[in-house]
Chains A and B, each alone.
Chain A
Amino acid sequence: MIKQFYILFLIVLLSACGENEPYEDAPVAEDPLEETLEVDVALTLEIPDYFPDLTYDLSQNPPTQNGFVLGKKLFYDGRLASDGVVSCGFCHIQAFAFTHHTHITSHGVNGAIGKRNAQPLHNLAFMQEFTWDGAAGHLDAQPIIPITAEVEMNNTFNNIVTTLSQDPEYVEMFAAAFDNGQIDPDNILKALSQFMLMMVSADSKYDRFLRNDGTTLTSDETAGLGLFEAKCSSCHSGVLQTDQTYRNNGLSIDPEFNDIGRYRVTGQPSDSLKFKVPSLRNIEATFPYMHDGRIPDLEAVLDHYSDGIVDSPTLDPLLRNADGSLGIPLTEAEKAQIIAFLKTLTDDNFIFDDRFAEF
């Protein structure tokens, strides 16, 4: 029985790969940062000039190679969780632009299941708030939530500091990364931020097109870009495709989770059912979609926007049409073109960048 289940699982996995495999080849990334150096060196974020301004004040926590290498080790270390297994990287898998691809909502320690889908990690240095509802106002504070949440890593910073302090490798690495050399929550979070800040995804086909390096979009992609700008970009605005606001996009309430969204953060009934407008960078790789991962693929996402909007008092006004109908009118051909454009946002050089890889 178990064997059969496994085979079935494999088949599902294989067929899922066949359908959704977004990558053609695995490009070789340049100079992976792996070693702790005797003399630390500053790292530079490579940011295209058409990107938005940084929100993270790098002067408060300038990324260095040693900080980055330490942050990466912490990111992939299961000992940050109470069970010694569920690391940050457990739910944020690089190949899926750091999402938890095989799970709809995220899994935590002891088989606990969260109520939200892990968000991708990329271009975090440009975000004002973090998590689906904005419960973290600073990147250095965001990991506090998954590390301490019972259904995620269920740990305490006290425990983590004790564990890390007993590991000579960490003692050396903290000493090499920070002036005060302390293993403390501040430095743990700063190192994680240094690792995550470097995750700039800016080398998709769309980026190369924007940089005018001779890359051209196909006619479908071009048509899709035009449609996207006309019908999607009032929320998914700018080169990161997000205005960083919170909106109710007409999903029905799932009684299993009864997730009220940003209402939990602000206590304002007007924020009920609102979630962060996500960046669409690498969207092809980050299925399933929406805050609870209820939608399996991009076709279904666009079907939701064209025909699946559920009305509620906080529904985003942009999804209400003058004639009283709800949603964004889209033909099947238009949907296919928009998806063609969305796939130009996939950045293989980021997804396969060795600098961020676990192994």
Chain B
Amino acid sequence: MKKIFLLTFAVAALISCKSDDNQAAPGEVNLVFKNQVAGNDLILSSQTYTNASGESYRVNELKYIISDIVLIGSNGQEFVVPQSESYFVVNEADNGSKTLSIPEVEGRKYSKIRFGFGVDQSNYPLNGVNNFIPTAEETGMLWSWSAGYKFIKFEGDYDTDTSTDAPFIIHVGSHGTTLDNYKTIELDLSTDISVNDNTNNVNLIFDVARVFDAGLQSFSLQEKDDIQVDPVYAPIIASNISTAFSTE
């Protein structure tokens, strides 16, 4: 009796496998982040750039949080990276941090990617998100006075008409219901990837220049060079950043 049951089960399992279009084996997907300024790789400290307001600036530090990664199949099926393993800090100064490895991605063809910039407050601190704390601590992405995260830490110096090397500090996060700067970004992949027991790379460009100017909302550092908990400028930056990513 038991044998028959097992046999039936095995047949059923086989049939269900066959009826599923997902026949490819799981594989690894690497998201490779490239920080650029208008098409050129970002060089920390030594390189001077010019923003949309005509100000010369240098970047000393650039870190940001990428979270809630979802790969979207050609037929709309989604592979959602388990929440507790879906929080990363991309740090320009640390090459290893710029490649986010997603293991065990379901085998199929993917044509889109969706991810969060920052930490979604509606999830926080559920689903193991608190296990991201040590990473955030090590990279200085935790505020010391608030139970939240800096979504971006962007610091450097700039020149004005009257001074050179004036520091700028941009730290943007969410602060309660009044200031929610988490952004979801969805992009078409430049070419579809087929996950099937293999490793695929997806290159993602972050255009740093767009922090200052994304066409609609621009600001100059002279206007505001210390943006931390800022109900006016932080949302502008977050919305600029939501358009700053592209696939390569």
Contact = CB atoms under 8 A, between A and B. Distances in A.
Nearest to A143: B147
Interface in A116-160: 129-130, 134-138, 140-142, 144-145, 148-150, 156-158
Given A145-B145, A189-B130, A265 B229 contact: yes
Contacts of A296: none
A141 B147 contact: yes
A268 interface: yes
A331 interface: no
A75 B234 CA distance: 36
B179 A266 contact: yes
A185 B138 CA distance: 14
A265 B179 CA distance: 9
A186 B131 contact: yes
B186 interface: no
A137 B176 contact: yes
Contacts of A161: 134
Nearest to A137: B176
Interface in B157-185: 175-176, 178-179
B12 to A, nearest CB: 30
Contacts, number: 89
Contacts of A316: none
The size class of the interface chain A forms with chain B is: 20 to 34
Contacts of A156: 134, 137-138
A303 interface: no
B147 A145 contact: yes
A158 B138 contact: yes
B131 A264 contact: no
Contact of A185 (B121, B134, B178): B134
Interface string B122-138: 00111011110110011
A148 B125 contact: no
A136 B146 contact: yes
Contact of B124 (A138, A149, A184, A266): A138
A4 interface: no
A267 B235 CA distance: 12
B125, B131, B148, B230: most-surrounded residue (chain A CB, <10 A)? B125
B229 A185 contact: no
B146 A140 contact: no
A108 to B, nearest CB: 12
Contact of B145 (A60, A149, A158, A267): A149
B189 interface: no
B26 interface: no
Contacts of A134: 176
A129 B231 contact: no
A135 B131 contact: no
Contacts of B131: 184-186
B178 A149 contact: no
Nearest to A193: B125
A189 B147 CA distance: 12
Contacts of A264: 145-146, 229
B134 A266 contact: no
B144 interface: yes
Given A137-B124, A141-B125, A185-B133, A148 B176 contact: no
A138 B176 CA distance: 10
B133 A267 contact: no
Contacts of B129: 186
A186 B85 CA distance: 13
A144 B147 CA distance: 6
A34 to B, nearest CB: 27
Contacts of B133: 144, 157, 185
Given A137-B121, A145-B147, A184-B131, A266 B137 contact: no
B142 interface: yes
B84 to A, nearest CB: 8
Interface string A260-273: 00001111100000
A141 B178 CA distance: 18
A84 B144 CA distance: 20
Given A136-B146, A140-B130, A264-B229, 20 more contacts: A60-B126, A135-B175, A137-B148, A138-B125, A141-B147, A142-B147, A144-B133, A144-B142, A144-B147, A145-B145, A145-B146, A148-B142, A150-B144, A156-B138, A158-B134, A185-B130, A185-B134, A189-B125, A267-B175, A267-B234
Nearest first, the 4 closest Cβ-Cβ pairs linking A and B are A141-B147, A136-B147, A267-B229, A135-B146
Interface of B: 84, 121, 124-126, 128-131, 133-134, 137-138, 142, 144-148, 175-176, 178-179, 228-232, 234
